[in-house]
Structure 1
Amino acid sequence: MIDVSDAEAKAMKRRTELTRRVIELATTTDWSVREIGAAVGLAEATVRRRLRDAGLKLKPGRAEPPQLVKRAVLLSRRGWTISKIAADVGYSKDSVRRWLRKEGVTPLPAYSGSHPPEDVVARAIELYDNGLSIRVVAKRVGRSHSTVGYWVRSAGVMRSADGKGSKPPNDLVQRAVELYDKHRLSIRETAEKVGRSYSTVRKWVDDAGVLRRRGPQPQHGQGVSR
């Protein structure tokens, strides 16, 4: 008879219980190897080996419901964390993380402190997507420009350096051109009014075919057409 110590017996029992749990999850859920490993505290390679020893192959996971993927992306762009999204859609954090990665969305990290209010994040993204610069948006929502920059990058609405990407609303461009051409504001004054950079407004004016004025500009309120 083989003499098995109490410690070895406990280890064997623990191994048996974990193997049974791995097999149960593999046959009754649609979880991936990684998700099963995270649930039972085993490495992916160990989970695969236990299943292989049991003569099982992990069945393909179910296709992600398109409506839930869209909701996860939307919630992430509103500033929700992975954990909160997972609880909302009823899938694991790994599944949600995989969905967002496929959609090219960078999720917000888990903050050690308090999370930013969702309405603040959503408002910042909305303002930026409507054509305002990151610095102007940061002033309006009371956050740093680096924080707002992270929010818009995570939401996938970041404009490229050359201005391509999300286009500014036509009425914003028209208002800028009108302020400069008809109301005789300077480029800098116009930029402050519409919340865009000097170079951006200058480009809008040039693209509109408006001849830029040279020399001293009239003071605000002087020479303004009525």
Structure 2
Amino acid sequence: MKMAASVRALAERIGHEFQDPSILLQALTHGSRGGGGDNQRLEFLGDRVLGLVIAEALLDADPTADEGHIAPRFNTLVRRETCAEVAREIDLGAGLKLGRSEMIGGGRKKEALLADAMEAVIAAVYLDAGLEPARAMVLRLWGERVASAPKDARDAKSALQEWAQGRGLLPPDYVLISRDGPDHAPRFVIEARLSTGEVERAEGTTKRAAEHAAASALLGRLDG
């Protein structure tokens, strides 16, 4: 089956040569396109494949960790924001097959569409070649995220809010300072602020990631 240049380029970026290119095309097809054959079922399967691969990777990386410490790291790695972040890094949006309304509405940049399509692409590789190629692709694309996922059972934003509440303070504010970079690889700078005046700034490839980084930096300063 003949593939558009953008889809061929995406296959090269994810590092898999499809025996059945129609599976990849389905993984990239949003329901707004109409006519059936969208990526919803593949997204469902890909979510499970991703979860299995990440769970195994975390267990292998830290053989002594208990479930209470692995679970929050797992959740960080498989959540929608992370999937969308990976999708942006490989410019998955360029290959999406969207209906007119989604194209006009900026669907190629939407976090939910990118995250769902990323999971569908994982399923496409799994169905095309099996678990090992799918595992290899996930570990390659998720890269250092597995090693650097936070080990604290609480995420930084929750911990900072608990710190503030425990001292009778208002919840922290998160202020967007700037957004730079191309659409497929943006960089957000966020400032975490407490009502008592403490401030820390951090950046990330998503607003959520930048908020967590800023919260973590502010926590480190408060605990220091």
Q: TM-score range by the shorter chain?
A: under 0.3
Which structure carries more helix by proportion?
A: 2
Flag the structure with higher strand content: 2
* Structure ID, larger Rg: 1
**TM-score normalised by structure 2 residue count:** 0.22
The two structures have a TM-score, normalised by structure 1, of 0.22
RCO higher in structure (CA 8 A, sep ≥6): 2
